[in-house]
Amino acid sequence: MSQTGQSFFNEMLNGSDVRAAYRSLERWHRDMPDELRSLKQHEAEQLFRRVGITFAVYGEGGDPERLIPFDMFPRVFTHEEWRKLDRGIRQRAAALNAFLADVYDRGEIIRAGRIPEHLVTNNEAYEKAAVGFRPPKGVYSHIVGVDLVRTGPDQFYVLEDNCRTPSGVSYMLQNREIMMRMFPQLFLENRIAPVDGYPRLLRKTLASVAPQKCDGEPTVVILTPGQFNSAYYEHSFLADLMGVELVEGKDLFVEGDFCYMRTTEGPRKVDVIYRRVDDAFIDPLCFRPDSMLGVPGLMSVYRSGGVSICSAPGAGVADDKAIYVYVPEMIRFYLGEAPILENVPTWQCANPDDCKYVLENLHELVVKEVHGSGGYGMLVGPKADKSSIEAFAAKIRAKPQNYIAQPTLALSATPTFVDEGIAPRHVDLRPYCLVGDSIELVPGGLTRVALNEGSLVVNSSQGGGVKDTWVLAE
C-alpha cells in the first residue's frame, strides 16, 4: 500500500473491507473482462475526441489538441461526507466575497488588525480601479473553485481558493455524461445526485447580478480570449449549454453608457459579462494599452453600472496564496462562525522565522510560488534531489516573499484503472460554488487524479487525469 514512502488513505477501503459506498463499483470492476474494459476506454476517448473536448497546448510541439486522460473508475462521496463539504464550501465562498467587498470599501478587517495591510494593497491582484465601487449584490467572485484534498476518512483540507475564473467544470459535466452513456447500469445500482443542473444555475446566478440600469431580461455573454486559449472548449461548451453568446473582445464595443456586441442586426446591449480573460485584458484603456483582447472603455461602463463583469475586476486578491492563510480569520471576522473546512498549515517565507524553518526542512515540504498556478514553479521536497533543493533554496533566499511552504500531505487515493487492473492513485477535488443572490453548489465537482504511480501532482499539464465524481443521494 505504501508507494510514496508513507501510508495514505485509500477511499475505497476501511481497513481491509470495501466501504459500502464502493461495493457496487468493486463488483463492477471485478466482473469486467479485460477486453470490455479496453473497448470502453477506447469508446470514452472517441467520445471525448468527437465532441471536441480537448485542451489546447500550444508551443510544445506535438498534437496541439490533446485529450485529458479520463479514468473510468468513479470517485464516490457518501451523502454525509458531502454534507460537511457542502456547508464548508458555501461558508468559504461567502467569507471570500465578504472580504472582497470589504477591502474595496472601508477595509474593516485591516483596520481591526486581522490582516496586514500590505498583503492586500501591495498585492498585484489588488485593483485600484475597483475601489469605491460596489458591484451588484456586493458579489465579486461569482464562481468560487475550492480545491480540496483529503488525508483521512474525516480529514479534508482546502489547498487553495480560485476566485477569478476557475476552469474544469466542463469535465465535471462531460465525465458524468460519458459514464451514464457507457455504464447506465451503475446509475441504477447507485443513487447518484445529478450535476446537470449546473449550466442553468450558472445562468441564473449571472442573471441575478445584472446591473441596476438593466430593465427586463438581462443579456448574458461569455467573454473568451479566443480559440487558442487552452480552455476554449469549455467556454464554448458553457455558452452552448446556457444558451448565451460566446464573444471575443473584438465583438464588443462601448458607446455612451453601455457595452454592445456586434450582431448581424446591428449593435445589441450586453448586461452581464462572464469573462474568462484575466483582469489585465479587460480594458486596454484601464489596464494594458498593448492588449488586443480587451474592450476599450469597458471599465468605465462597469463603474457607472452599465454592465456587470463576473468575476469582478480585482477579485483575484482573495485567492492569492499569501491571503489564503487568512481565510479562516475572514470566516470568523465576517460570519462570526468557526471554519468548517481547515486550511493546510502554511509557512510564509516573508516571515523570517517561517523562512528559516522552511529552508531547514525543504526536503519534507511542498514549496509554492505565491502567484504561481498550474503546478509550475513548485518544489515537492520529498521527491526532489539534492541539487534541485539547493537551487530552490537559492530562489527562496533571493525573494522570500514570493514563496509559501506546506507539509507534504499524505493525499488520499482512489482506485484507478492501470495496466494490471486497478491501483490507488492520489486525487484532489474541485467543486464549483456559485454566488449570486443566493449561494448554489451542485453535488459533485472535478476529481483530478495523478496517474503516475506515487505522484502527487494532479495538473493535466503534468500527467494528471480526471474522473467522474459521485455524491450518493440521501
Partner 1 sequence: MLSRTADHLFWMMRYLERAETTARLLEVGARSALMPDVSGGYRNDWEAVLQASGGYEDFLSKYGETKQRNIETFLFFDESNPSSVLSCIAAARENARVVRTALTSAAWDALNTAYQELRGMQRMERSTLSISDLSEWTMRACFLVRGAVSATQLRNDGYNFMGVGTSIERADNTARLLDVKYFVLLPSLSYVGSGLDQSQWITLLQAMSADRSVNWSYTGELTSSKIADFLILNRQFPRSLLSAVQWTNDHLDEIARIYGHATQAQAAARSLLGELAELRVDDIFDEGLHEFLNRFMYRNGEVAQRVQDCYLRGIPA
Q: What stretch of H or E contains 19?
A: none
Q: Which of these ranges, 45-53, 336-344, 399-407, 463-471, lies near partner 1 under the rule CB under 8 A?
A: 45-53
> Rule CB under 8 A: is residue 62 a binding residue for partner 1?
no
**Nine-digit cell at 163?**
476566485
User: In the complex with partner 1, which residue's Cβ is closer, 18 or 182?
Assistant: 182
Q: Residue from 161, 248, 320, 440 that binds partner 1 (CB under 8 A)?
A: 248
> Rule CB under 8 A: is residue 15 a binding residue for partner 1?
no
Report helix, strand and coil shares of the chain as percent, to nearest 5: 35, 25, 40
> Rule CB under 8 A: is residue 261 a binding residue for partner 1?
yes
Burial string for 364-374 (b: 16+ CB within 10 Å, else e) reads ebbbbbbeeee
What residues pair up with 149 in beta bridges, in sequence order? 157
User: In the complex with partner 1, which residue's Cβ is closer, 236 or 461?
Assistant: 236
Q: Which of these ranges, 34-42, 208-216, 258-266, 285-293, lies near partner 1 under the rule CB under 8 A?
A: 258-266
Do 245 and 262 meet the contact criterion of CB atoms below 8 Å apart?
no
How many residues of this chain interact with partner 1, rule: CB under 8 A? 23
> Rule CB under 8 A: is residue 26 a binding residue for partner 1?
no
- Which residue is associated with the grid cell 454566488? 435
Handedness of CA 262, 264, 269, 272 (dihedral sign): negative
User: In the complex with partner 1, which residue's Cβ is closer, 132 or 266?
Assistant: 266
> Rule CB under 8 A: is residue 50 a binding residue for partner 1?
yes
User: In the complex with partner 1, which residue's Cβ is closer, 52 or 197?
Assistant: 52
> Rule CB under 8 A: is residue 237 a binding residue for partner 1?
yes
Q: Residue from 184, 266, 289, 336 that binds partner 1 (CB under 8 A)?
A: 266
Q: Residue from 265, 290, 385, 420 that binds partner 1 (CB under 8 A)?
A: 265
Q: Kindly give, in sequence order, each residue whose CB lies less than 8 Å from that of residue 395, ignoring residues fewer than 6 positions away.
A: 402, 403
> Rule CB under 8 A: is residue 263 a binding residue for partner 1?
yes
> Rule CB under 8 A: is residue 401 a binding residue for partner 1?
no
Nearest 5°: the CA angle 359, 365, 370 is 80
User: In the complex with partner 1, which residue's Cβ is closer, 266 or 289?
Assistant: 266
For partner 1, the binding residues in 110-129 under the rule CB under 8 A are none
Q: How far is the CB of 465 from partner 1 (least distance, A)?
A: 22
| Strand pairing class (446-450; 439-441) | unpaired
Q: Which of these ranges, 25-33, 182-190, 265-273, 381-389, lies near partner 1 under the rule CB under 8 A?
A: 265-273
Q: Residue from 64, 107, 194, 267 that binds partner 1 (CB under 8 A)?
A: 267
Q: How far is the CB of 261 from partner 1 (least distance, A)?
A: 6
- Which residue is associated with the grid cell 528559516? 356
**What does the alpha-carbon distance between residue 311 and residue 391 come to, in Å, rounded to a whole number?**
37
Q: What is the DSSP string of 95-149?
A: HHHHHHHHHTTT-HHHHTTSS-HHHHHT-TT--GGGTT---GGG-S-SEEEEEEE
Q: How far is the CB of 263 from partner 1 (least distance, A)?
A: 6
**What does the alpha-carbon distance between residue 277 and residue 67 come to, in Å, rounded to a whole number?**
22
**What does the alpha-carbon distance between residue 182 and residue 194 come to, in Å, rounded to a whole number?**
16
Q: How far is the CB of 141 from partner 1 (least distance, A)?
A: 25
Judged by the rule CB under 8 A, the positions of this chain that interact with partner 1 are: 49-52, 226-227, 236-237, 239-240, 245-248, 250-251, 261-267
